[in-house]
Structure 1
Amino acid sequence: MSAHMTEDQTLLQDAAERYLRDSYDFNQRRERIAEGVYSDPNQWQAFAEMGWLALPVDEEFGGLGMGTREMAILAELCGQFLVTEPLIDAMTSTHAIIGVSQQQQSLLPRVAEGELIPIAAIDEAETASRLTPATTLTQTDEGWHLSGAKHWISAGASATHLTVLAQSADGLAWVLVPTAANGVKCEHFPTHDGRGGMNCQFDLVLEADHILLQGQPASDALEAYRTLAMTLSSAETLGATQAALNTTVDYTKQRVQFGQPLASFQALQHRMSNMLIQTELTRSLIYAACNAADSGHDDAARFARAAKVKATTVGRSVSQEAIQLHGGIATTDEYIVGHFFKRITALESWVCSKGEALKEFMALSPS
């Protein structure tokens, strides 16, 4: 992201890009994932020291108090460098859920320091909608009983805590659950994008201070979480899309066929030009979604869903074109292009699918 950035945003982008270029090696990433290590604790601590985890935390709680545009800058770089650490997952949970809870004063500094890694647990296997959980939170003589199961928790293998969406007597509720707590049984599984997922079963009694939000505030936080997640996932998709395009252009300049570089053939130039045009159109829409969110625009939710649909469509198209223009080498694990495609396809269904986002966009009336 570079258009119309403030000085602080430019400094953030330059510093983050320089760090990831120098310190986030693709081959080391591959070796780590092959060993079942989806998140590097040293990288996470470095993120904390550079202030990335403090971006969505208000200044009064030791954070930087920055907005959606700044978070999207990091999200785009995560896509460009295929970061497996759950940065956008944690930022989204922090900003939309923990940041509006009564426990914000005690929890937010721990997030900013990298001690607490919160990941939202929403999806369930048996429910028809992501928005109507079967997981229940009930009050008993011993405390608050959480019962149910969550599946397909993206980047869940890296979480220290889950923000669990449950149904209570007062409506929806967000509950903060340590993954190592008694009564929590979790199963990790590898994912094709290298981030590692998790399924969890809950049958435990919690103190009241584990309940972050209930009733209407919880419903409002769910909407805020989904809107922010759509915007940041679109930004990360954009980063992976741009990186796939750049890698393809570089490859076609070097690969020689019939005595000429592939980039000299007009038919391929036209294909790469179309890839660039669609990528730039996506970038403009994501900028608009970020600006709408940060300015409190009434249409912020529509912009987020439009960005999700556009980024998902273009990301898949461009990454598929990149694979075709590379040929067979792009399908190997050792070459980076196929990994951009894998991350883009994983982001397609995070929080909501393209089809769900499109339906919600059409249902929302423009202001």
Structure 2
Amino acid sequence: MFRADFHPFKVEQFLSELEHGVTYNFSESGVHPISFQGLVDMADIDLPALMATLIDYPQVNGKQSLRDTISGFYPGSSSDGVMVTVGATEANTLVANTLLQPGDNVVCFRPTYEQISGNAANLGNEVRWVDLVEADGWAIDSAALAKAVDSKTRIIHVVNPNNPTGRILSNSDRRQITAAADRVGAWIVADEVYAGTEREGDVETPSFWGSYDRVLIVNSTSKAYGLPGLRLGWLVGPEDVITECWRRHEYASITTSMLSMELADKALSEPTRSKLKSRAKTLIRTGFDVLTAELDRHPGVFDVVPPQASAMSFVRFDLPISSEDFCMRLLREREVLVIPGSRFGVENHFRFSSALPEDYLREGLSRLNGLTSEILQGH
């Protein structure tokens, strides 16, 4: 029986092995988490009622009122076309296991969060990479996209806004992706966990939902809402495909927790949802300004295409050291954790999360600059 070689998830392996116990952690991809008390206060949660909730199995595909709320974010969808998952992670895994058949290929854009691609490779499917163009603000290479998509393409995967660059797809990019998918009947799987984290303006990144009839949307409470510890995500799509994913969900996790669903139900309802996103944008905008000011202390060494959204930046550096070695020295010598660009398939970069409390951010960047000075001096 054929068994594909296993491909570890490079970014998550790096995080799970190194992130806990580090003093200055800039490796995460969401905004600084809100406390349980902060959410209770913001959402005006009735604690006695919450405490009376039975710690039982919840509805397996997601609490009805929560799915109703999520469906409202995607006009034309139904609550039966929504499934609540254990984070976006499970949603991506279920999609790969449901849609992909032997001989299918998956088209992904690089750099990106390599979850769909890793799942596809582990199933034995070909992954075709389309490199984003840094000199053009991380825009899509149109010719490379057209070349990559063919009659065997089952999924075109997009993370929009992008992880790690923070790029929001332009209208032209979106049209190209949709046209490429339509040409061969492929599915667009759109990971939209950073929608609502826009760094400038208040117009939210448009969803791929409604742009084409073969679209699956992945989202979660982790990034824009500052609630990663709930481990709650969702998948939205045609009801028949969601039902197929549900059958696989029963094998994978059965369900997310009752408490997570109860809290997410409150967090995603207005006005709490808007308050959480406002909090995220404040952290994102302040944090990026601090990041760029501190990196400017070494002119010509660091450069970053300003992210249009998300809590992170993909920083290019000009130093005589690889991204992996730079990041490991930062960790060993300065107790600072960032993710090397090599984990995204791109050298001479690192991913840095800056949507954090300002004092913490400044101290960590001071340590990063200290190591940079040593490297420039040949140490």
**Which structure exhibits the higher relative contact order, with contacts defined as CA atoms closer than 8 Å and separated by 6 or more residues?**
2
Q: Report the TM-score, using the length of structure 2 for normalisation.
A: 0.25
Q: Report the TM-score, using the length of structure 1 for normalisation.
A: 0.25
